[in-house]
Structure 1
């Protein structure tokens, strides 16, 4: 089931009710998904969080966050570079002497190095002892989407007497909040996805009436064809799964490995896509259906448990909004999972409740997760994420 809600409320649910999964957009403004950072805003945020600075580090493109917030203009920088944004004062770019003509102009002072001893010395000039510095690091790799600083670099910076904390909240605040166009792009994607899934189920119905069967792969290819007609792209093929295949969350049929859908089957369709243009935001929905008039009681029971679990997560968000409180991402997962466990199906729910959504279907913002990890990030205005519990029994 997907909801788009303003300011953390759910007043507009009727506009986007779709299935068991949910996307929740907390509206409150923001600076969008830009590659440019407003340094004044960053420094203000650092001060609010009692951080002395943000040290952005990359080597040969390993730090995806660094490459998103600093546009290298297509240049490949072959040596290590650091960009330090202090809570107060002028930023510092530290890079190798051979890269000075390749690195794009950026706010702050440029400092160069050549040999490794000079690199360490220059870093020592930048990093003050006792300072609290954010980097793309996550304790115990709890949040892999912001964990790009290697252990050796972590040790190098820490030897200067700095305390290193995760930049996860910084990254979320400055790169994951949707602006008005981002939200509009998401809504256009969702509208199209709704239409396409409805067409896919109608095609299944038609084929079963005329031929008594249709392959999962044929329906999958129908959906991808409709993506192309809408001018949409996706990072992988949609999922069309019958019966036991639906119990595999990442099952995908192919021309050589596909089952045949027949009357009486349970059918799952999971589809995600976005407009094929810069800055477009994904939509991501999942539907389950039954090829017949009267679904078995067990199907209805499982669907009801999953739906009510989803509603438990939304109720937590609604309550926090009404009380002016902030919810952390893991708390939503805990509420959803508690309901499924109470109903006796906890062992069959073996993934996190939801994920961040942005220009990538799985974004860098807060994941609704107290299972695969414990995502302690706050749900802040402007985030888009799914609430999509699943119960995966052996037969469906």
Structure 2
């Protein structure tokens, strides 16, 4: 909870130090240095529980590959981390802080931080340039903690997996209700807008105990050509017979640790959609299924799969159909307690995500093609288990057609 530029917090740690140290040794990394100032490092919130006292000064938590961790914090903050394992080193002035950092980090040549070379993975890049410059005086090599973050904060436990499954089912029911609502309104020639449908979806999700960081996308015709278009109370379009319709919705339960679901379905307000609309739908559907099959094949062969490889497979297929120029976003994103999580993205386009897809991760697969007059996207969520990829969001295999 933020107040006066800081955080009220009573600290407890959510990761097991011994497991982190085993990981560090296997990766030949000498330590993990977690740094935060006024909530700058979002990852710190995945590692510590923040409630209670006000934090307004810089703090560091260093987990060496061997030995005791060290917490470095200002003297006025000494009561704020009572449950953190390891030693506590306190500073008052900046010279003392620099001296303590030098002592604690001495002999550790390769240290991981929330940093990404050339900002390759923005979702894990939180160390500011000045702090990086300072620490380079003490650490010969600073490497990205991206894989550590993924392994220790993004993998779902069983309760979280069940939370995602519940979200997937509720979202599926909501999109089904939305298309049926559109059909009924059009059958009776009653006025209807994108915003009306969006608000119906959000009320339904709220009433069922779900929440979302933003409202659903309901887009007709060329509005769907903008992947992140969303209607507002001031900006919307009427829904009419003969319209191509895209609905993208995401939500999670209103409780701590809940995991998002995220789906996109498309339909046509009529029984005979335009030939090109059907063609594009079939391409994106096949591209979606190709991604899942690629993951299954690699898993069965015992091959490691990286995020960028799946995106390349999908992108090559769409390009082979002549529509590569019209697919201008990544194939998928990480999903955890945030709809756009901090794990591996299915991306070789916006970034080149070199992270491995490891068991326990959840991510979307959502290829799309966006032409001048309409856009088509299909989205499912893939949970990568020890047995391979699993999909708990019901898959759309045919266009939703309406009897209007």
TM-score under structure 2 length normalisation: 0.88
Give SS of 2:346's match: coil
1:222-253 CA distances to partner (integer Å, 9 max, x unpaired)?
A: 11111122111111110111000011111111
Q: State whether structure 2 residue 126 is matched by structure 1 residue 172.
A: no
Q: State whether structure 2 residue 171 is matched by structure 1 residue 199.
A: no
Give SS of 2:201's match: helix
Q: Which of 200, 221, 229 in structure 1 is aligned with 2:199? A: 221
Give SS of 1:395's match: coil
The residue number in structure 1 matching 2:45 is 67
The residue number in structure 2 matching 1:354 is 332
Q: Which of 147, 159, 168 in structure 2 is aligned with 1:181? A: 159
Unaligned runs of 5+ in 1: 1-33
Alignment of 1:114-263 (within 5 A): 114-129=92-107, 131-211=109-189, 213-263=191-241
Give SS of 1:214's match: coil
Are 1:128 and 1:162, in contact at CA under 8 Å, matched by a contact in 2?
no
d(CA) in 2 for partners of 1:74 and 1:289?
Answer: 49
The residue number in structure 2 matching 1:15 is none
User: Which structure carries more strand by proportion?
Assistant: 2
Q: State whether structure 2 residue 64 is matched by structure 1 residue 86.
A: yes
Corresponding residue pairs, total: 363
Give SS of 1:164's match: strand
The residue number in structure 2 matching 1:27 is none
Structure 1 runs (4+) deviating above 4 angstroms are none
Are 1:72 and 1:104, in contact at CA under 8 Å, matched by a contact in 2?
no
The residue number in structure 2 matching 1:110 is 88
Q: CA RMSD in A?
A: 1.3
d(CA) in 2 for partners of 1:187 and 1:375?
Answer: 26
Q: State whether structure 2 residue 26 is matched by structure 1 residue 48.
A: yes
Deviates more, 1:162-171 or 1:304-313: 304-313
Structure 1 residue 126 displacement after superposition: 1.0
d(CA) in 2 for partners of 1:35 and 1:112?
Answer: 19
Q: Which of 40, 56, 76 in structure 1 is aligned with 2:54? A: 76
The residue number in structure 1 matching 2:377 is none
Give SS of 2:265's match: strand
Q: Which of 274, 278, 289 in structure 2 is aligned with 1:311? A: 289
d(CA) in 1 for partners of 2:321 and 2:74?
Answer: 59
Are 1:129 and 1:160, in contact at CA under 8 Å, matched by a contact in 2?
no
Are 2:334 and 2:342, in contact at CA under 8 Å, matched by a contact in 1?
yes
Unaligned runs of 5+ in 2: 1-11, 375-404
Are 1:60 and 1:76, in contact at CA under 8 Å, matched by a contact in 2?
no
Q: State whether structure 2 residue 14 is matched by structure 1 residue 36.
A: yes
The residue number in structure 2 matching 1:10 is none
Q: Which of 350, 369, 372 in structure 2 is aligned with 1:372? A: 350
